[in-house]
Structure 1
Amino acid sequence: MRAPPAFPTCLPPRQTPPGTAVSPPLAPQPAWASTLHLRYGRRHGRSTAHSRHAGALRVLAALHPEGPDICHHVLVHPPGGLVGGDRLDIRCDVEAQAHALVTTPGATRFYRSLGAPAVQTLDATLHEGTRLEWLPLETLAYNACLGENRSRFTLAPGAELFAWDMLALGLPAAGQAFQSGRFTQHLELPGVWLERGQLDATDAALLHSPSGLAGRTALGTLVFASGSPIAAPRRDALLDAARQLACGDAERPAGATSPHPQVVVLRAASHRIEPLAALFKQVWAAWRHLAWDLPPCAPRVWAT
């Protein structure tokens, strides 16, 4: 976490001797900006990874725990979070026939802002026949934050995607409710599907009414998407699996739908992020088997 600025002490003004040069006051520290370009390809029967970054955001070494066909990558941001004015921009290109799974070692944190928003963007392009699993751990929106999290996935015919967006408002377990601030979520498949919402701490109807979140502070979206229409039997199998795993928990309502022939979506809300994340991991594992005939292979960082 970035250290807060020190407050001046109440000392008497220092007397400057005549003729002494006076240094100008220090300029405010600029916001931190980072860019990361990820590129996945297929070389000699192996999914490969290349990256280029500017700033603090970067990736760890590529791993292949499932064999050469699938590349696992972990994004790391050493500052530990974003404050007002910070910006993280990620570009991800998945070349033909490559398969990548991208995650994070911990939550992405949006801290209190003094006025400027903190923004994270992802622009991913999946070429023909590719697979991408975009599975970062949850986002934490601290009280008084002004945050935006935008993700856009462009899929060529035959490309397929698993992606999720999990958000927790405030730190209720620590008695720090989301009482002020605003957070915007944006999840888009251009020309196919768009989910965008703004969560304002002053919007009581959205956050507290029975027709809204009813006091729940965690919400999320899990999507399976294809660059081509999903065959009806396959789509129905995905929906059935999600509904069976999600049913029976009144404290964590969830619903699975197919708003477009190329998209299957599971949405859920909860009073805590842990039950929601557990559900999404279960459904992702079931969907991975149904859609790709692959067993789940949870990244090792999820267990640390």
Structure 2
Amino acid sequence: MFDVAVSTPSKMEAAPMQRARGEARISFKQMGSQTRLDELYQRGSAKFRLPKVYDNIPVAVLINTAGGVTGGDEYSYSARVAAGGHAILTSQAAERAYRRSAGNGTIITRLTAEANAFVEWLPQETILFNASALHRSMTVDLKGNARFLGIESIVLGRTAMGERIDTVSFRDKWRIHRDGKLVFADDARLEGNTKDILKGSATTSGGLAFATLIDCDPNAETRLDRARSALEGCGPGTSVRAAASAWNGVLTARFVAADGRALRDALMSFLETYRSAPLPRVWHC
């Protein structure tokens, strides 16, 4: 006779969900009058692609092959532009933060520009879906008279699809250093019911899309008139409100819009006017 003991769990334990991981690093060097790719590394679902361009400024396009970010996902992006170089970093499409089951999605970005270099960070918007959780940070290190021009825009759901955003967890941290000294710091946090948080005049007065542009350059203050001129189409009576200010080598512009479409149209008009150059072609796809 044999005694056989069988253990039967009262509840089936759910297997942990697979998480997305991605890391992409890119650097550029200067060869004569042209900026060229120097190094490229990519792992997981983070990719850089370099489409053909018809000038001397390379464009690196970020692609998240996972299709979005949800709780527990982790991404790391970094780019370096050598002395005298100029490179543009953008994204293939809008990033999407989806409903989470647990944890936070994390995106960490690090950018470095050597002396007399210019790095432009021009990703398309990030869309936050209901019950999403996205925590991200950007660190920029500038050397000497290097310039950084960057924008980040957030859209709370797609109004054209009738999406309702009741709650999100969103945190965004910017830190910009020049020669090791902190020159700009900015933190944004949305935690909980977005309608309650954003309904006041001190936030967005009910607007569902907002953006921040930073131009960090020793001569940034000389571009303030150009920035304000480019914002003439925004203001009372329109669906987008915006303002710009400059101080101590940093120009800042803030945008608040009723929805993502209005914000995108305003940003495209502003960026092409302020930069005196067309946006990367992926913005028009």
TM-score > 0.5, shorter chain as reference:
yes
Q: Does 1:96 align with 2:75?
A: no
Aligned to 2:7: none
State the partner residue of 2:47. 58
SS in structure 2 at match of 1:79:
coil
> 1:132 corresponds to which residue?
119
Query: Is the CA contact (8 Å cut-off) linking 2:155 and 2:208 kept in structure 1?
Result: yes
Asked if 1:77 is matched to 2:64, the reply is: yes
Matched pairs, number = 272
Which blocks of at least 5 consecutive residues in structure 1 are unaligned? 1-17, 19-23, 290-295
Query: Larger strand proportion, structure 1 or 2?
Result: 2
State the 1:203 CA deviation.
5.6
Gaps of 5+ in 2: 5-11
Is 2:272 aligned against 1:297? no
**What TM-score results when the alignment is normalised by the length of structure 2?**
0.87
Note if 1:110 corresponds to 2:97: yes
Identity of aligned residues (%): 21
Offset from partner CA, 1:189-223 (integer Å, 9 cap, x none): 13111111111232655311233212111000112
Q: 1:250-304: per-residue Cα shift (whole Å, max 9, x none)? A: 421111111x311111101111112212222222222223xxxxxx132222222
Q: Is the 8 A contact 1:178 1:201 kept in 2?
A: no
Q: Which moved more, 1:41-50 or 1:261-270?
A: 41-50
* Contact 1:132–1:162 (Cα < 8 Å) also in 2: yes
The 1-side partners of 2:252 and 2:233 are apart by 14
Q: In structure 2, what is the Cα distance between the partners aligned to 1:31 and 1:45? A: 43
1:180 partnered with 2:174: no
Deviates more, 1:204-213 or 1:185-194: 204-213
Tell me, yes or no, if the aligned pair for 1:245 and 1:283 is still in contact at 8 Å.
no
CA RMSD of aligned residues (A): 2.4
In the alignment, structure 1 residue 257 sits paired with structure 2 residue 238: no
Q: Which amino acid aligns with 1:123?
A: R
Taking the aligned partners of 2:267 and 2:207, their CA distance within structure 1 comes to: 17
- Of the structure 1 ranges 248-257 and 78-87, higher mean CA displacement relative to structure 2 is found in 248-257
Asked if 2 retains the 8 angstrom alpha-carbon contact of 1:80 and 1:109, the reply is yes
Asked whether 1:142 is paired with 2:123, we answer: no
Kept in 2: contact 1:242–1:266 (CA 8 A): no
Q: 1:272 is matched by which residue type in structure 2? A: D
Residue 197 (structure 2) aligned to one of 200, 203, 206: 206
Partner of 2:34 in structure 1? 46
The residue aligned with 2:187 is: 196
How far has the Cα of 1:248 moved from its partner?
A: 4.9
Shift of 1:31: 1.6
Would you say the 8 A contact 1:245–1:282 is kept in 2? no
Q: CA deviation at 1:26?
A: 8.3
Distance 1:230 1:197 in 2: 26
Q: CA deviation at 1:136?
A: 0.6
Whole-angstrom CA distance in 2 between matches of 1:247 and 1:143:
29
TM-score, normalisation: structure 1: 0.82
Question: Does residue 221 in structure 1 map to residue 202 in structure 2?
Answer: no
> Residue 168 in 1 paired to residue 155 in 2?
yes
What are the equivalent positions in structure 2 for 1:7-22 lying under 5 Å apart?
A: none
Q: Deviations over 1:71-116 (max 9, x none)?
A: 1111111111011100110111111111111111211001011120
Kept in 2: contact 1:205–1:212 (CA 8 A): no
Say if 1:222 and 1:280, in contact at 8 Å, map to a contact too. no
